[in-house]
Amino acid sequence: MVDVLLGLQWGDEGKGKIADFLTPKYDVVARFQGGPNAGHSLEINGKRHVLNTLPSGIFHENCINIIGNGVVLDPVRFMEEIDRTVEAGGFVEQNLRISYKAHLILPTHKILDAASEAAKGEAKIGSTLRGIGPTYRDKIGRSGLRIGEIFSKDFILKYKQSKERSLALIDHYGFTDFDLDAMEEEFFGAVERLRKYQFVNSEYLVNQYITDNKNILAEGAQGSMLDIDFGSYPFVTSSNTTAGGVCTGLGIAPRHIENVIGIFKAYCTRVGSGPFPTELDNQQGQDLRDKGSEYGATTGRPRRCGWIDLVALKYAIMLSGVNKLCMMKSDVLSGFDTVDAGVAYLVDGNRSTEVGFDYSGSVNAEFVSKPGWKEDITAIQDYDVLPDTVKDYITFLESQLDTGINIISVGPGRTQTIERNI
Ligand code: GDP
Ligand code: IMO
Ligand code: MG
């Protein structure tokens, strides 16, 4: 049985926390897209730990963690991540499996990311500069390097060919602010270390697990509004962050997918450029940022904050067939007089309840206002004990989204998680 866990907004919804929380129910956790642009926070022994490429089941001894073919992997950052994770008690050597078909992020991909963003000036995407876009571009352009190549005798030759192609583009951008020799030294050092891990044809492995009736959790990175096809293009990432990505990024057929668990914050954030119709560019936005510690887990950048956007959430639920919801960071809303929710868009003065083609910086939202709550809810373990105002907000969201909210998160810790059987 395969369940899918997806972020429904612009990323950073709390996927890491919930994947780690749910892992005891699964034999396998697998990543299917994205790469070190992701930053998934888990609380391990009271300390925050951030994962970038490793799946969030890595701290559970009895769970196999797979990096699927749809992922892009930077050996340099990956080895640093492995060292941090082993030190924190993660079961990397025993439990990690890496697809031979995942694509390699090369030093020149990272330089190209920086060059392309610099050239865009004001119109920049706000990329994490981890080389994601250029690596997926080479993959789709059929000139990428898959990780299995590190075992091939032609690896250096193929590396050099790819590097030369990228250098021509970097030259075209007129970008010179990099030290390729130093980057290459790090890269080849990390590749050397990478070889000792367990590489697999992950599509066969995953399907064998399905045949053996194992439970698999496919862990998404980023969020639905960053999807390359359906997100706020061009202010998106370069992979399919919606449910379709599971099929192509792991080799899982659609009929094997049972539950699609969608994760959203009780409000909304975005890091990087692009439209954000419910953004609060005022003191309330700053209050959300302060109370929610809304600074990027990967880059440390301040996240833009705003009220929940129900138009975008409904769209994300529709695209992925979400049948279970987790509402995160509900505790952060304590103390606001009212809690607002965007229920429609105003595009050039026209009201719309769809995320249309013309979704751009000029979209504003129409709001519905709900009473806020003052109580500290971070220690509550039982749904019935939540203040009525919180329960009313949940009921309102469920009726708007036509989907039940099964998990309510009231803090970053594993135990700060209220489960409801609905
Ligand atoms: P991800 O990328 O979706 O895994 O999310 P991030 O880890 O980038 O960002 C979520 C942040 O919120 C992390 O710092 C988490 O520790 C924290 N977090 C998760 N759930 C809650 C919650 O219910 N309340 C609060 N206050 N923080 C939370
Ligand atoms: P997790 O998995 C939030 C954003 C970047 C930028 C855009 C493109 O932690 O939720 P990229 O580096 O992919 O070319 O950047 O996407 N972005 C994220 N925002 N959370 C993420 O991952 C993100 N990964 C990419 O800020 O706007
Ligand atoms: Mg994150």
Ligand approaching nearest to the C-alpha of 19:
1
- Nearest residue CA, atom 28 of ligand 1? 412
Q: How many CA atoms lie within 13 A of 306 on its CB side?
A: 22
| Cα-based torsion angle of the residue sequence 143, 149, 150, 154 in order, rounded to the nearest 10 degrees | -90
- Please state, in angstroms and rounded to a whole number, the distance separating the CA atoms of residues 264 and 18: 11
Query: Ligand 2: which of 6, 32, 37, 265 to mutate, judged by most atoms within 8 Å of the beta carbon?
Result: 37
What are the helix (H) ranges across 56-154? 75-87, 92-95, 107-120, 132-140
- Who contacts 47 (Cβ-Cβ below 8 Å, separation ≥6)? 88
- Please state, in angstroms and rounded to a whole number, the distance separating the CA atoms of residues 349 and 346: 5
The pair phi, psi for residue 410, each rounded to 5°, is: -120, 15
pTM above 0.95, yes or no: yes
| Ligand 1 site, residue 412, Cβ cutoff 6 A | yes
- Nearest residue CA, atom 13 of ligand 1? 41
Q: Which two tokens stand for residue 100?
A: 């031979």
Kindly give the confidence (pLDDT) of every residue in the chain, 422 residues in length, as a single tens digit, with 9 standing for 90 and above: 999 999 999 999 999 999 999 999 999 999 999 999 999 999 988 899 999 999 999 999 999 999 999 999 999 999 999 999 999 999 999 999 999 999 999 999 999 999 999 999 988 999 999 999 999 999 999 999 999 999 999 999 999 999 999 999 999 999 999 999 999 999 999 999 999 999 999 999 999 999 999 999 999 999 999 999 999 999 999 999 999 999 999 999 999 999 999 999 999 999 989 999 999 999 999 999 999 999 987 778 899 999 999 999 999 999 999 999 999 999 999 999 999 999 999 988 899 999 999 887 789 999 999 999 999 999 999 999 999 999 999 999 999 999 999 999 999 999 999 999 87
The one-letter amino acid code at 78 reads: F
Over its C-alpha atoms, the chain yields an Rg (Å, rounded) of 21
For residues 37 and 29, is the Cβ–Cβ distance under 8 A?
A: no
60 is catalytic: no
Domains and CATH numbers, the chain: 1-101+201-422 (3.40.440.10), 103-194 (1.10.300.10)
49 is catalytic: no
Q: How many CA atoms lie within 13 A of 270 on its CB side?
A: 28
Residue 422 is predicted with a pLDDT of 73
Residue 247 is predicted with a pLDDT of 98
Query: Ligand 2: which of 52, 105, 127, 294 to mutate, judged by most atoms within 8 Å of the beta carbon?
Result: 127
Decide the pairing of beta strands 257-265 and 324-328.
Answer: parallel
Q: How many CA atoms lie within 13 A of 82 on its CB side?
A: 19
Residue 308 is predicted with a pLDDT of 98
Residue 300 is predicted with a pLDDT of 85
- Who contacts 86 (Cβ-Cβ below 8 Å, separation ≥6)? 92, 93
The pair phi, psi for residue 398, each rounded to 5°, is: -60, -40
Residue 301 is predicted with a pLDDT of 87
- Please state, in angstroms and rounded to a whole number, the distance separating the CA atoms of residues 333 and 329: 8
